[in-house]
Amino acid sequence: MSNLANPTGLSGATTPPPPPPQNPNLVSLTINGKRLTVPKGTLLVEAAKMAGSEIPVFCYHPKLKPVGACRMCLVEIEKNPRLQTACTTPVSEGMVANSVSPNAISGQNAVIEMLLANHPLDCPICDKGGECPLQDNTFKYGQGVSRMQEDKRAKDKAFALSDRIVLDKERCIMCYRCTRFQSEIVGDQALVALDRGGESEIGTQNGESFESPFSGNTIELCPVGALTSRFYRFRSRPWDLKRTPSVCSGCSMGCNTSLHARDGAILRMVARENPGIDDGWLCDKGRFQTLPPVTALGQVTAAEAKQNRPLQPLLRKHGSLQPTTLELALQRTVELLRGYTAVLASPTLTNEAMLALETGLRPMAQQSQFGFLPYVHTPWLLQGKIANLPFAKKIVLLGFDPWTELPVLALWLRKAAQNGGNLVAVGQHNGLFRDSAAWLSVPQDRVGDTTAELLAALTTGKASAPVREAAMKLTCDGPAVLLLHPDLAADASLLFLAQQLAQQLGANGDTGMLGAPALAANARGAQELAPTIASATVSSHGLTGILLLGIDHLVPQSGAKLAVATSRAIEPRSDVEVVLPMLHPYETAGTYTNFTGQRQALLAGGFVGRNVPSDQQLISHLRTALTHRHAGAR
Amino acid sequence: MIEDLKALLAGFFTTLRHMGRKKITLMYPEQKRQPAAKFKGRHQLHKYDNGLERCIGCHLCAAACPSQAIYVGAEENDPKAPISFGERYAKHFEINMIRCIFCGFCEEACPVEAIRLGPEYELSDYQRHAFVYTKDMLLDPEKHAPRRQFHADVEQHRGPIGGKPEGEAAVSGAPKGHCDTPTGARTPRKQDL
Ligand code: SF4
Ligand code: SF4
Ligand code: SF4
Ligand code: SF4
Ligand code: FES
């Protein structure tokens, strides 16, 4: 035999193949008989998902720190005498875990039985019934029968935690998802666990109302029907709801939502996670306050009927508003727009309507002033992506409090602060107070002076002690974020200072974020697609007629006659001449641009009748009516 | 020929034999049959003895209905003037009798025995809308059902269920004496809202 095949001359004896190179960041393990390799530090419950087997959970949530409170996730781990909770156990090399062994199953049965020992069987009247993890897990991992003969614990049934949230203390399984959300994600400890053992329950520190800008998220997090929404309570069952993906119209954050409607009436809005925009959370302003009034048949109570929105055109005749046809209402609106008049539009109109307004309607009504209410123009368009925020190391907020203006943005900035970012707030309000490295608390009109001082501290070191101290925090390396309140940006000198400061910090759109964010929903879309209207200021003095497009409330009485196109109930004021019904953004298909310039689609989530036009349709109707007027005049 | 005669006589004999037997047909509509206890006719909504409605507005009958004949719209009870026992009641309850196939699934789905299919079977009328039964009509057909569709002689056959909400094991399979009623029948502490 030649040695050609083995030039080294070593014998081809059967040595075992060397073990595959060990990547210190990977761990291989076996779950339910399936071998897999996962990154080190992965929790067993997550590894099981990758292995394609489900481990039931209640308290575990991927966005919250594990606590091991409910014991639902018990698994058997080889060489471990007792069942372990998969949600608190990180994987380790060579681990053999089993969630379907007789031992693990008996553990799951026992936990379900224990949780149900005091759980009321309220499912038929419970808002969660039909989408309830406790129901699902009982079905899949429970025994199916109960051995309990004793009476169940009696606690408060409909305890009003706040004017938005109702707690059923009997249904609570003490998983602490709600309290962990409030302390870990929001950081306000608005909900806490009180008392111990069988008496323990969820509540607020001193029994005060549960006030937090994000309280609605706990309803979604609660794995049972313990936390329920006051507005959605008993309105429907989950299987009756039609779900439509949409975008929140509460502010320019553009959080992704899912609209849930029954018989065309939108009854609730829940989060639809977009990791680049909302991280799965919604604020209460968006969740509870932006929904159109309920109009569908069978859902109207007397109180609702009173505040009901108009669904057909109304025209003032003999001193009162009376139903009329769309043609007559449009005709009257067009007459109203003669002379010294104004068209005020809401920035919550869709992009399509913005374009129709700028290129379609405005050229037809040259004599009228056009503008947005509220004013949306910002001279310093925002640059940067939301995904940059968690990695920001230097954050400066000038007169801008995201906590109230763009609430979900505050959660991102809080994340950055927790990742070691230094947050310096300048201004009167600072909802992120607990996470700020420094708060230079000055009235809004002094923000400019403080900004100048901060800039001086960074460049020359000459400044008062607190400002110098704040500036110290901003000397580190890393991505920078600088946000200026758009109202303050109108002041050219402050704008210049802010831009200087951003440059000094090294803020750029690729790694951080800088600019004066648009605040109202689709305000950025308004500025991009209707630039002339966005930058125009309307002088309200001496107007004879005003057309309000999509604006929720009337402008102050000024002697001008009003034509109102709205999706909400309006005050029956004597200067309202015409009311045109319009679809709410949630009933319209269109697009919104969020404050970073990202365009997202809305789909029609509700239905109020074929005769109600969308914002875009209404604008084109108005344009046609104006064309006829011109034609008639010729 | 003999064979034919035989067959003819056999026929007459059968008739003769039956003439002596008891009649099983009725002179309908002058005479009416009392339906069996399990007969599935027009639905009834029942009340407890204390006057509270049994129905808790849970939508389960509507979910079970194969012909989507039922519409339920629930509301929260006013604790001071409750309509049903517990927190929730049916504000709207409608059954479209034209769609209904009288299968009885709704009755089986109901956790509190609020809905039952009653004895009434003479459901005919001249207009479609006369067949859309609202809550009033189902609770008290004598007062509210269309005149043509109410027959006291049939209806009296099966009266109201009545009963007390307390201690009723409404969820089937619950051990006896176990207070697992979805109406919250353990008189929970309830905060005034
Ligand atoms: S929380 Fe879930 S299990 Fe409990 S009553 Fe509600 S639906 Fe039923
Ligand atoms: S209220 Fe809900 S989320 Fe909070 S501890 Fe109880 S079960 Fe968990
Ligand atoms: S009897 Fe059957 S078809 Fe008729 S309403 Fe009940 S479930 Fe529906
Ligand atoms: S199932 Fe029974 S309690 Fe539920 S809505 Fe129907 S009739 Fe009412
Ligand atoms: S999910 Fe693991 S203990 Fe709750």
Of A149, A154, A233, the CB nearest to B186: A154
At residue A16, the pLDDT reads 57
Confidence of residue B168 (pLDDT cuts 50, 70, 90): low
The helix or strand, by DSSP H or E, that contains position A228, with its residue range, turns out to be: strand A227-229
Residue B141, phi then psi, degrees to nearest 5: -60, -30
Of A145, A157, A234, the CB nearest to B74: A234
Cα(A504)–Cα(A464) distance, integer angstroms = 19
Sheet holding A383-384, edge to edge: A383-384, A513-515, A480-484, A394-398, A422-427, A438-441
Residue A76 three-state SS? strand
Confidence of residue B166 (pLDDT cuts 50, 70, 90): low
The helix or strand, by DSSP H or E, that contains position A321, with its residue range, turns out to be: strand A320-323
- CA B132 to chain A, closest CA, distance in angstroms equals 14
Cβ <8 Å between A159 and B191: yes
With a 6 Å cutoff on the Cβ, whether A263 touches ligand 1 is: no
With a 6 Å cutoff on the Cβ, whether A73 touches ligand 5 is: yes
On whether the pTM is more than 0.95, the answer is no
For residue B61, give the chain A residue with the closest CA. A124
Of A124, A155, A234, the CB nearest to B60: A124
The position carrying tokens 């605040």 is A519
At residue B50, the pLDDT reads 87
Alpha-helix residue ranges (DSSP H) falling in A187-251: 217-221
Beta bridge partners, A426, equal A398, A440
Residue A156 three-state SS? strand
Pocket test for ligand 2, best of A134, A214, A227 (most atoms within 8 A of CB): A227
More confident call, A6 vs B5:
B5
Q: How far is CA A52 from the centre of its chain?
A: 30
pLDDT digits (tens, 9 = 90+) for A581-617: 999 999 999 999 999 999 999 999 998 888 899 999 9
Which residues of A are less than 8 Å from B114 in CB distance? none
Of A125, A145, A151, the CB nearest to B86: A125
The position carrying tokens 């990742």 is A419
For residue B59, give the chain A residue with the closest CA. A237
At residue B184, the pLDDT reads 41
Confidence of residue B181 (pLDDT cuts 50, 70, 90): very low
Segment B84-103 shows an average pLDDT of: 93
At residue A558, the pLDDT reads 87
% residues pLDDT > 70 (chain A): 94
- How many Cβ pairs closer than 8 A exist between chain A and B? 87
At residue A633, the pLDDT reads 54
For residue A149, give the chain B residue with the closest CA. B178
- Distance from the alpha carbon of residue B115 to the mean position of ligand 3, in angstroms: 10
Residue A298 DSSP code: T
- The minimum-distance atom of ligand 5 relative to the CA of A87 is 2
Q: How many CB atoms lie within 10 A of CB B135?
A: 20
Cβ <8 Å between B75 and A301: yes
For residue B79, give the chain A residue with the closest CA. A158
Cβ <8 Å between B190 and A158: yes
At residue A524, the pLDDT reads 96
Confidence of residue B161 (pLDDT cuts 50, 70, 90): confident
- The minimum-distance atom of ligand 5 relative to the CA of A73 is 2
Q: Which ligand is nearest to the CA of A128?
A: 1
Give the tokens for residue B168.
């009723």
At residue A577, the pLDDT reads 94
Question: Which class is B32-155 in CATH?
Answer: alpha beta
DSSP secondary structure, A451-492, as one string: HHHHHHHHHT--S-HHHHHHHHHTTS-S-EEEEE-HHHHTSH
Closest CA to ligand 4's atom 4? B58
Residues of chain A under the 70 pLDDT cut: 1-22, 295-307, 631-634
Cα(A314)–Cα(B143) distance, integer angstroms = 40
Residue A197 DSSP code: G
- CA B76 to chain A, closest CA, distance in angstroms equals 7
Cβ <8 Å between B188 and A145: no
Q: Is the CB of residue A347 less than 8 Å from the CB of residue A521?
A: yes
Segment B153-177 shows an average pLDDT of: 59
- CA A126 to chain B, closest CA, distance in angstroms equals 8
Q: Which ligand is nearest to the CA of B109?
A: 4
At residue A2, the pLDDT reads 42
With a 6 Å cutoff on the Cβ, whether A429 touches ligand 1 is: no
Q: Is the CB of residue A31 less than 8 Å from the CB of residue A45?
A: no
- Distance from the alpha carbon of residue A24 to the mean position of ligand 2, in angstroms: 38
For residue B187, give the chain A residue with the closest CA. A154
Q: Is the CB of residue A548 less than 8 Å from the CB of residue A564?
A: yes
Instruction: Spell out which chain A residues touch chain B, with contact meaning CB-CB distance below 8 angstroms.
Output: 120-125, 129, 145-146, 148-149, 151-152, 154-160, 166, 170, 233-237, 239-240, 298-299, 301
Give the tokens for residue A213.
């800008």
Give the tokens for residue B99.
């769609």
Cα(A255)–Cα(A233) distance, integer angstroms = 23
At residue A627, the pLDDT reads 87
More confident call, B137 vs B179:
B137
Instruction: Spell out which chain B residues touch chain A, with contact meaning CB-CB distance below 8 angstroms.
Output: 56-60, 62-63, 71, 73-76, 86-88, 92, 111-112, 171, 173-175, 177-184, 186-191, 193
Residue ranges of domains in chain A, CATH in brackets: 26-115 (3.10.20.740), 133-229 (3.30.70.20), 309-377+523-633 (3.40.50.740), 383-515 (3.40.228.10)
Of A121, A145, A156, the CB nearest to B190: A156
Which residues of B are less than 8 Å from A301 in CB distance? 75
Q: Is the CB of residue A379 less than 8 Å from the CB of residue A496?
A: no
Which of B88, B106, B134, B187 to mutate against chain A (most A CBs within 10 Å)? B88
**Residue B118: pLDDT above 70?**
yes
For residue B179, give the chain A residue with the closest CA. A151
Closest CA to ligand 1's atom 8? A123
DSSP secondary structure, chain B, as one string: -HHHHHHHHHHHHHHHHHHTSPP----TTTS-PPPPTT---SEEE-B-TTS-BS-----HHHHH-TT--EEEEEEEPPTTS-SBSSSEEEEEEEEETTT-----HHHHH-TTS-EEE-S------SSGGGGEE-HHHHH-HHHHS-GGG--HHHHTTS------STT---STTPPTT----TT-TT--B----
Q: How many CB atoms lie within 10 A of CB A198?
A: 11
Alpha-helix residue ranges (DSSP H) falling in A419-565: 447-459, 465-473, 486-489, 492-505, 523-529, 531-535
Domain assignments of chain B as residue spans, ordered by start? 32-155
